[in-house]
């Protein structure tokens, strides 16, 4: 947890609070209708960008919120064109007009109710995660395992679904501030447990799915952007994970070693690029064009399957022999010969198919999971 409850000066009834599951903000000052704030750094780290806080006592007022240290955040180039999310019920998270200038992120909000919440993206808290785990574990055909524990002692939960010979590992939330990833996971689990769906039935005959919805429960609860309780970026630990720094990766990779991996999907969010895309494993020592073509074919098919995916925008490809094997997608492609991919979803919107009210949203994240599983069904025989 980043902060305790904070109340503005006695002359105003406003109260700014981030002392809850996933919360992150620090109150600097209240000056009339202007509220100055700072995002708190991840513990033992310089990373920060995720914010999530509530405001009490603002009914009937138009307040201006200014995040003063936005320009020093992990990815300041992501702020131009970004719109903060606001909610009065913590269910619907709408975009609000947001300005970024001189290192300050600023937005106005006129509250019609006493309470309002603001976040970098629609939150997916550890309480929501616990509910997802509980209801999924009760479904037929699902096996739950606790693969290990985080540094704070939280469970690293995994589900096994299906009986087919192909081993598909889906894991997300290595970077806890990328909350769209667990919305995607919710959608994937809903589809994989739909016993009436013919696509699901085919997939589960051909593949066994191993799903880890949240790789970083400590960072999620603490309101971190990118790291675990030790300030470690888990997606730089896959070459040499350790019980001391990254037990979350260690227990998952050990489980992968026990099953092998044919397909790996690492689910993420990207701060700057207004599009959904996948990154691959170009540059690994064992790269072959035939292996890489399986990854490219999947991306082309997915783009043809849904307007919420594209292949034009994305990260630069690694040059031959330069892949960072501490990143999971590269490590698993090299270690197992897996068709391995990193999905990146936007904090902004998928500009090729925009939504003016919600932008990229929880529901669209869930639907993209469905589309990715449908596309996987088309190619699983060739992998």
Could you tell me which of 293, 308, 279 has the C-alpha nearest to residue 371?
A: 308
How many C-beta neighbours within 10 Å does residue 226 have?
26
Please calculate the CA angle 369-372-378 and round it to the nearest 5 degrees: 150
Segment 79-108, tens digit of pLDDT: 999 999 999 999 999 999 999 999 999 999
For 267, the 3-state DSSP assignment is strand
Residue 302, pLDDT above cutoff 50: yes
Segment 35-57, tens digit of pLDDT: 999 999 999 999 999 999 999 99
Query: Is the CB of residue 344 less than 8 Å from the CB of residue 270?
Result: yes
When pLDDT is cut at 50, 70 and 90, the band that residue 325 belongs to is: very high
Supply the pLDDT for residue 60: 94
- Output the average pLDDT for the chain: 96
Please calculate the CA angle 248-237-69 and round it to the nearest 5 degrees: 90
- What fold is seen in the domain 126-382? Aminopeptidase (3.40.630)
Task: Kindly report, as residue ranges, where domains of CATH 2.60.40.3120 are found in the chain.
Answer: 6-119
Cα–Cα distances (Å) from 85 to 22, 77, 216, in that order, read 15, 18, 23
Could you tell me which of 113, 241, 125 has the C-alpha nearest to residue 173?
A: 125
Beta-sheet strand order (sheet of 15-17): 6-7, 15-17, 52-56, 115-119, 85-87, 94-95
Could you tell me which of 200, 198, 216 has the C-alpha nearest to residue 157?
A: 216
Percentage of the chain exceeding pLDDT 70: 97
State how beta strands 207-212 and 166-172 pair.
parallel
Residue 8, pLDDT above cutoff 80: no
Residue 194, pLDDT above cutoff 80: yes
Supply the pLDDT for residue 6: 45
Return d(Cα 2, Cα 118) in angstroms, integer. Answer: 16
Segment 285-295, tens digit of pLDDT: 999 999 999 99
Segment 332-366, tens digit of pLDDT: 999 999 999 999 999 999 999 999 999 999 999 99
Residues 6+ apart with CB under 8 A from 215: 156, 171, 172, 173, 174, 234, 248, 249, 252
Query: In this predicted structure, which of 2-11, 111-120, 284-293, 322-331 has the lowest mean pLDDT?
Result: 2-11
Segment 199-252, tens digit of pLDDT: 999 999 999 999 999 999 999 999 999 999 999 999 999 999 999 999 999 999
Mean of the pLDDT values across residues 243-272? 98
The torsion of the CA quartet 75, 80, 83, 84, rounded to 10 degrees, works out to 40
Please calculate the CA angle 357-182-316 and round it to the nearest 5 degrees: 80
Q: How far is C-alpha 316 from the geometric centre of its chain's CA atoms?
A: 21
Annotated active-site residue 312? The verdict is no
Supply the pLDDT for residue 46: 97
Supply the pLDDT for residue 10: 39
Supply the pLDDT for residue 342: 98
Q: Which CATH architecture has domain 6-119?
A: Sandwich (2.60)
Return d(Cα 106, Cα 37) in angstroms, integer. Answer: 10
Q: How far is C-alpha 75 from the geometric centre of its chain's CA atoms?
A: 15
Task: Kindly report, as residue ranges, where domains of CATH 3.40.630.10 are found in the chain.
Answer: 126-382
When pLDDT is cut at 50, 70 and 90, the band that residue 13 belongs to is: confident
Supply the pLDDT for residue 372: 98
Q: How far is C-alpha 284 from the geometric centre of its chain's CA atoms?
A: 25
The torsion of the CA quartet 320, 321, 322, 323, rounded to 10 degrees, works out to 100
Please calculate the CA angle 99-51-159 and round it to the nearest 5 degrees: 130
Q: Encoding tokens for residue 336? A: 């197992």
Return phi, psi of residue 326, to 5°. Answer: -80, -10
Query: Is the CB of residue 311 less than 8 Å from the CB of residue 299?
Result: yes
Which member of 190, 334, 344, 374 is catalytic?
Answer: 344
For 17, the 3-state DSSP assignment is strand
This prediction's pTM: 0.96
Query: Is the CB of residue 217 less than 8 Å from the CB of residue 156?
Result: yes
Mean of the pLDDT values across residues 29-33? 96
């Amino acid at each position: 947890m980043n902060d305790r409850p904070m109340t503005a000066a006695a002359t105003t009834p406003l109260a700014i609070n981030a002392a809850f599951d996933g919360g992150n903000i620090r109150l600097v000052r209240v000056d009339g209708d202007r509220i100055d704030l700072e995002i708190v750094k991840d513990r033992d780290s310089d990373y920060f960008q995720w914010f999530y806080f509530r405001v009490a006592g603002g009914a009937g007022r138009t307040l201006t919120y200014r995040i003063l240290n936005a320009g020093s955040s992990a990815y300041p180039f992501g702020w131009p064109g970004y719109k903060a999310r606001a909610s009065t019920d913590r269910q619907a998270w709408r975009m609000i007009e947001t300005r970024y200038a001189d290192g300050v992120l600023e937005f106005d909000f006129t509250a019609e109710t006493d309470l309002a919440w603001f976040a970098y993206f629609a939150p997916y808290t550890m309480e929501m995660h616990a509910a997802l785990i509980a209801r999924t574990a009760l479904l037929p055909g699902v096996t739950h395992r606790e693969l290990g524990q985080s540094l704070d002692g939280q469970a690293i939960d995994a589900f096994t679904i299906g009986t087919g010979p192909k081993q598909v590992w889906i894991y997300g939330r290595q970077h806890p501030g990328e909350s769209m990833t667990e919305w995607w996971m919710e959608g994937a689990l809903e589809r994989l447990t739909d016993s009436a769906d013919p696509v699901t039935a085919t997939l589960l005959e051909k593949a066994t799915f191993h799903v880890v919805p949240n790789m970083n429960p400590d960072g999620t609860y603490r309101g971190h952007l990118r790291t675990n309780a030790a300030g470690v970026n888990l997606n730089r630990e896959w070459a040499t994970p350790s019980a001391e720094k990254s037990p979350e990766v260690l227990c998952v990779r050990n489980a992968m070693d026990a099953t092998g991996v044919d397909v790996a999907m690492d689910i993420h969010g990207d701060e700057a690029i207004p599009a959904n895309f996948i990154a691959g494993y170009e540059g690994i020592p064992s790269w072959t064009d035939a292996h890489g073509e399986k990854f490219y074919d999947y991306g082309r098919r997915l783009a043809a399957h849904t307007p919420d995916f594209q292949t034009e925008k994305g990260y630069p490809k690694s040059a031959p022999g330069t892949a960072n094997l501490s990143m999971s997608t590269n490590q698993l492609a090299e270690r197992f010969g897996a068709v391995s991919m990193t999905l990146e979803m936007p904090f902004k919107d998928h500009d090729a198919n925009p939504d003016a009210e919600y932008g990229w949203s929880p529901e669209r994240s869930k639907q993209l999971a469905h589309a990715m599983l449908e596309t996987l069904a088309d190619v699983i025989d060739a992998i």
